[in-house]
Structure 1
Amino acid sequence: MRSWHVERIASRFIQLVIGLIFVAGVYTRNLSVVVNALLALAATFLPAILRRDWQIRLHPFLGMWLTTAVLLHAIGMLGPYHYIHWWDHVTHTLSASVVAAVGYTAARAIEAHTDAVHFPRQFMFVYILLFTLAVGVFWEVLEFGARLAAEAAGTEAVLVQYGLDDTLVDLIFDSVGAVLVALFGTATLSDTIDSLTERLEQTRP
């Protein structure tokens, strides 16, 4: 069975599961489950949109990589985040690896597109780590802001934040995801980088 066909089947299955999670959130009137399921479901369509509308070549593994990350997050909102202590670590590592891949792909495509930018090979490791941590810090700020807004409005928080210790642990696992991409994931992204560079070339006057 071709890898593209496997990805399509896996994506449809993941979308079905997330759809069921959304229904569960509506049935239980759990706003955080509903909102996160909707966002996760929207994210599962991103690989197809990038391929169809932007002509970005994505390895089938990359599509499943993204959809698996959002699926685990959506499942976590049903309870695993509260009852399985390592669930948050897994989702942060996987999500951070997606962020790292995006940062690396964008940087390499821009570097290939213009002579004004050059990233030394030794610097890329540091760049991937710092980019991922910056996004991770932004996400933690969003979680903190969502909690404060929910407390002020007297409603349930859409994003869950457990305090400073939890934030520091989350950033550690964000770093793990970034390091994994820097060490092992860059080769998988080469074709995507080439197609993104081609897309940038089309924007030249």
Structure 2
Amino acid sequence: MSNRARVLVSRRTQAGLVRLLQAMMVALLGIGLYVGDASIMTNATIGLLVTQLPAILERRYEITMNVGLVLWITLAMSLHALGTVPLPGLDFESLYGATWWWDHMTHALSSSLVVGSAYAITRALQEHTEHLHMGPRFTLVYLLIFVMAFGVFWELIEFYVAIGAQVLGIPRVLTQYGLDDTVLDLIYNSIGGLLVAIFGTTYLTGVSDQIRDRLEAGSANR
């Protein structure tokens, strides 16, 4: 089999996995509707909406993502949605409640998406304007600070959503497991962000270049 054929099969496989994971989230949404669980419904719906963003960006802004990036986004959202579902093999507890590392894994994946987005946009802005320049080391520090700040912001959202649900007497759609868990979440956020900042930026160059082209086209039309 030629290298070209192997790449083609790989892309087809990745596209198939994307569709499979999206179908799983549709099934999770159905389960949430059937059992009346607001957390499952909310997380499955948000996951499905986020996985539609690559298609929306392509249709409206002609920004095309590699299928591997789409799989990365879909995997992160589907694992998060799956973690909210009570499973029979876990005595009908969710993966978040029964598996100590599930929450940390999904935080690392989610933070990697945040860092990837921040890098693609920042690189595009640097190439679009001469007034912004950050060297590789500064970019690494910037991305880590960005993901840590976003992580703190998300933990605050989880906290206030949990408090609001308790006050209003409605089911929680986000759950906090205590201060120790919050600290660990922030650590895993940083790990996910660091891995993307060091190893993943190469895969985001194409998206960044397309964003730059859109910025330049917008400037030319003014």
User: Is TM (by shorter chain) over 0.5?
Assistant: yes
Distance in 2 between residues matched to 1:83 and 1:177, nearest whole Å = 22
What's the TM-score once normalised by structure 2's chain length? 0.89
CA shift, 1:3, in A, is: 4.6
Question: Among 136, 157, 181, which residue is 2:151 paired with?
Answer: 136
CA shift, 1:124, in A, is: 0.7
What's the TM-score once normalised by structure 1's chain length? 0.96
- Pairing 1:80–2:87 present: no
Distance in 1 between residues matched to 2:58 and 2:33, nearest whole Å = 32
What's the C-alpha RMSD, in Å, of the aligned pairs?
1.2
Question: Among 36, 49, 58, which residue is 2:56 paired with?
Answer: 49
Distance in 2 between residues matched to 1:150 and 1:191, nearest whole Å = 42
- Pairing 1:161–2:176 present: yes
SS in 1 for 2:218: coil
CA shift, 1:135, in A, is: 1.2
Q: How does 1:1-205 map to 2 (within 5 A)?
A: 1-78=8-85, 79-204=94-219, 205=222
Distance in 2 between residues matched to 1:6 and 1:114, nearest whole Å = 38
Structure with larger RCO (C-alpha < 8 A, sep 6+): 1
Distance in 1 between residues matched to 2:147 and 2:49, nearest whole Å = 22
CA shift, 1:129, in A, is: 0.5
Which structure 1 segments of 5+ residues have no match?
A: none
Change (3 A) 1:32 1:170: same
Percent identical among aligned pairs is 40
Deviations 1:136-157 (A, max 9, x none): 1111111001101000111111
Task: Answer with 1 or 2: which has the greater Rg.
Answer: 2
SS in 1 for 2:36: coil
Which structure 2 segments of 5+ residues have no match?
A: 1-7, 86-93
Query: How many pairs align?
Result: 205
CA shift, 1:72, in A, is: 0.3
CA contact (8 A) 1:101 1:181 kept: yes
CA contact (8 A) 1:3 1:60 kept: no
Q: Which moved more, 1:44-53 or 1:91-100?
A: 44-53
SS in 2 for 1:203: helix
CA shift, 1:2, in A, is: 4.5
Distance in 2 between residues matched to 1:199 and 1:97, nearest whole Å = 24
